[in-house]
Amino acid sequence: MDNLNDLKAIWLSAKTDDLPSSTEMLRIVKRFRDQKLRKKWMVIIMTIALAALMIAAIFFNKPTLVTTYIGQVLAASACVVLAVSNIRSIGRFYKLNDCSNKEFIAFLEQTRLNQLYFYKNTQVWGMGLSSTGLLLYSYEFVYQNMLWCIITYSLVVVYILVFFFVVRPRGYRKEAKKLNATMEKLKELSNQIK
């Protein structure tokens, strides 16, 4: 096109004087730094602290039944599963400092696949471990009183059933729909960059 220079002249006429000054921008960046990954870091710290607390409780409380030990270990394992999956995810983000658009789209596609995997597998495992842990852990506190035993276990079982068969599928359907739409768009972008 002979008129590329005309287009460049039009392009460069865009007004940029309402952009923040460099001093203002410095103030803005200092306020927003690390916000993106803060949620992930919080999950990691909270789950590690919770797992440590549960293990410490075994030594301080000295439970009498083996079911309590197993329950605490299973619940702590669920926390570790959640922490590890977030640590792996955060590690991928930190490797992303300098990559081309092609690599970035591949990264986004992999992130979405990992998210789907998390909902389909990791979350089920984590919830399975913590639910079983909760059932076993509660036993020592109620097994001598049949009424308390029935009330506690009914509540715990109802909570687990509602979570597994109502809350989780609903959340999964909503999330999967969004993720699949994003995956479609990413595939389209991926085709453009071949």
Binding residues vs other proteins (CB under 8 A): 1-4, 6-8, 10-14, 16, 18-20, 22-23, 25-26, 28-29, 32-34, 97-105, 108, 181-182, 185, 189, 192-193
Residue number with CB closer to other proteins (29 or 147): 29
Please give the torsion angle defined by the CA atoms of residues 134, 137, 143 and 144, in that order, rounded to the nearest 10 degrees: -130
Nearest to 73 by CA among 20, 134, 5: 134
Phi-psi map region of 62: left, alpha, beta (phi>0 left; psi -120 to 50 alpha): left
Residue number with CB closer to other proteins (8 or 174): 8
Phi, psi of 55 (to 5 degrees): -65, -40
CB of 174 to other proteins, least distance (A): 15
CB of 87 to other proteins, least distance (A): 19
Residue number with CB closer to other proteins (165 or 187): 187
Q: Quote the CA–CA distance of 37 and 76 in Å, as a whole number.
A: 24
Residue number with CB closer to other proteins (92 or 185): 185
CB of 112 to other proteins, least distance (A): 9
Please give the torsion angle defined by the CA atoms of residues 7, 13, 15 and 21, in that order, rounded to the nearest 10 degrees: 100
